Homo-oligomer: A and B are copies of this chain.
């Protein structure tokens, strides 16, 4: 990000007709967007949500309330425009791109981008979820996607996912990277029952014990206890930073991907924006680690990029305030 432009944005904000700092995190957002895009009032008209999809071998351990087949059904739902993310993206004027990075679906529905690395991961409770090479391929899929979006004129990317069982690998990643106890990080995902929760905690602990992922090696963590869609999301974040685009993260899964991306390079961090705080306990802990503050506290836990898409109107408001508000001088008043 361009620090000179950030400082110019900060100076302008303090001339606007409001008490200094009174627009809170919207001010910070406007300043960061100026620095990232190199424009004092960036054009945010073209927005995209990327929904990365994948399945998980670990579901055979009974860690989730839904069968893997739902991932395929939901990809068809995304393609038909009937899922929650389609509705919210229509409301907030964003285009939805659906990527099959690793579902078990034998055919990819029309309207879904086929970039499948493999059909679902292996069960991480008994060995690595995937090979290191597969993890790298999935990350690159995301990097390429960010590049494509930039070429299509997209100015801001929201990152979401769909993958039955994927709070389990996301929580495993959180546990490996933060070192926090698994039982303090684990939540109910899409709605597992009490017995399922206990199983989920045991399975995550077992996956870490069996695989011994190296917290200092993000690709190792991804390969051993991650997921294909998580790898792709980390790639979109890396790619977003490479293309100097703001990237909005969503709930726990995309935040676990952000931990991987920032693990690969700290220089990704200035491009990331938190959107909402989900009900998953690991989410707050990871956001704090990343130094990001979520603006939306709506107890959502759906994924798909729904929280990210809800941040778009606030980002656009932040930019519009910079562009359209009167200054103290306009009103014939002294500045603060």
Mask of A322-333 contacts with B, CB within 8 angstroms, 1/0: 011110001111
Mask of A12-24 contacts with B, CB within 8 angstroms, 1/0: 0000111111111
Contact (Cβ within 8 A) B22 A320: no
Contact (Cβ within 8 A) A84 B191: no
Contact (Cβ within 8 A) A23 B324: no
The reply to whether the CB of A316 lies closer than 8 angstroms to some CB of chain B is yes
Contact (Cβ within 8 A) B298 A22: no
If A74-B17, A77-B17, A84-B16 touch, whether A22 touches B297 (CB-CB below 8 Å) is: no
The reply to whether the CB of A300 lies closer than 8 angstroms to some CB of chain B is yes
Q: With A and B bound together, what is the CA distance between A293 and B277 in angstroms?
A: 14
The reply to whether the CB of A314 lies closer than 8 angstroms to some CB of chain B is yes
Contact (Cβ within 8 A) A22 B301: yes
Mask of A85-105 contacts with B, CB within 8 angstroms, 1/0: 011101110000000000000
Q: With A and B bound together, what is the CA distance between A333 and B82 in angstroms?
A: 14
If A91-B317, A310-B313, A324-B87 touch, whether A24 touches B301 (CB-CB below 8 Å) is: yes
Chain B: CB-nearest residue to A65: B19
The reply to whether the CB of A279 lies closer than 8 angstroms to some CB of chain B is yes
Contact (Cβ within 8 A) A325 B26: no
Contact (Cβ within 8 A) B73 A22: no
| Size bracket, chain A contacts | 35 or more
Say how many copies of this protein the assembly contains. 2
The reply to whether the CB of A83 lies closer than 8 angstroms to some CB of chain B is yes
Q: How far is the CB of A301 from chain B (nearest CB, A)?
A: 5
The reply to whether the CB of A76 lies closer than 8 angstroms to some CB of chain B is yes
If A25-B299, A298-B25 touch, whether A320 touches B88 (CB-CB below 8 Å) is: yes
If A73-B331, A301-B22 touch, whether A91 touches B313 (CB-CB below 8 Å) is: yes
The reply to whether the CB of A112 lies closer than 8 angstroms to some CB of chain B is no
Max chain B Cβ within 10 angstroms of own Cβ: one of A76, A90, A310, A313: A313
Q: What are 14 A-B contacts defined by CB distance under 8 Å?
A: A22-B301, A23-B306, A24-B300, A25-B298, A70-B333, A73-B331, A76-B331, A77-B331, A92-B317, A191-B336, A295-B296, A296-B314, A297-B297, A310-B313
* Closest 10 pairs (CB-CB, A-B): A82-B326, A24-B299, A19-B190, A313-B313, A22-B302, A24-B300, A25-B298, A87-B324, A24-B298, A19-B191
